[in-house]
Amino acid sequence: MSRLPEVFKRCKSEKRAALIGYLTAGDPDVNTSKDLLLTLAKQVDILEIGMPFSDPAADGPVIQAASERALASGTHISDVFKLAQTVREANPDIGIVLMGYANTPFVLGFDNFSKQAVSAGVDAVLLVDIPPEEGYLCDPIFKQYGLDRILLLSPTSTDERIKLANKHASGFIYYVSLNGITGANIGEMTSIRQKVDNIRTHTDLPVCVGFGVKTPQQASEVAEFSDGVVVGSHFVGQIPAHARESQNMTTAINHAAQAMKMAIQA
């Protein structure tokens, strides 16, 4: 069973938004990645673990480079599951989401993929290039395994599409704050808020906001009107910035996550 409902319930009882942090599994290599994921997991409510892919067409330069580092250092999908499991063993209550592209579970087989994900302690899956319309491939299987299916909504999503997403999504709705790729500059806060409010009229699921949240100030503003704040590129960017010394990398991610956490709780 997915832990996501419990996570959001807990955050709600503490009267705050959830902090959702992303790192790519295997970035810059499997061993370092394990330390980084364990560090970030201690600070967040939900950890998104990216599955490295050769052709990340929805990602900006920062996360593209993360995928390239992970693949170049020999990260396999089996490592991704192992890393998820390690994080789970150390953190029984956080939410864990696997994030990536359709081809990874498609080639593995959705059944096989789901089985391994659940046994690693994963709660949910976010596949950026499987919209509700193509959900026939994964929805029944994820449901059977009790995995939540996170769906994205964006500024271009019409009311009709919001309703469609609500019908197919579980866990939470991930609102992409801008028309663009990961790591771009965040959109205008008033319009993000309006869209989130609009989405809420169509769904009872928690609505989280991501793509472009880079500063604690932005996180704090987004936290005011959303159920969760997703931070990805800002954390991933610490890895190349501290490439010489993995200890510094861990420290940098820890500091960056603490700052975001404080901003959200304030």
CA dihedral of residues 234, 237, 239, 242 (deg, nearest 10):
-110
Angstrom distance (rounded) from CA 109 to CA 253: 33
| Residue 263 burial (10 A CB sphere; 0-12, 13-18, 19+) | buried
Interaction between residue 73 and another protein (CB under 8 A): no
Interaction between residue 13 and another protein (CB under 8 A): no
Candidate list 18, 151, 239, 253; residue touching another protein; CB under 8 A: 151
Closest contact distance (angstroms) between CB of 180 and another protein is 4
For residues 177 to 196, the per-residue mask of contacts with another protein, x marking binding by CB under 8 A and - elsewhere, is -xxxx--x------------
Per the residue annotation, which of 27, 59, 79, 221 is the catalytic one?
59
Query: What is the DSSP code (8-state) at residue 233?
Result: H
Separation in Å, CA 169 to CA 25, 108, 161, 207, 209: 24, 22, 12, 11, 15
48 tagged catalytic:
yes
CA nearest to 27, candidates 232, 231, 183, 239: 239
Are the beta carbons of 165 and 199 closer than 8 angstroms? Answer: no
Candidate list 86, 91, 103, 254; residue touching another protein; CB under 8 A: 103
148 tagged catalytic:
no
Interaction between residue 128 and another protein (CB under 8 A): yes
Candidate list 161, 168, 193, 200; residue touching another protein; CB under 8 A: 161
Residues with catalytic function: 48, 59
Residues that bind another protein (CB under 8 A): 53-60, 64, 68, 71, 76-77, 101-104, 106-108, 128-131, 133-134, 136, 151-158, 161, 165, 176, 178-181, 184
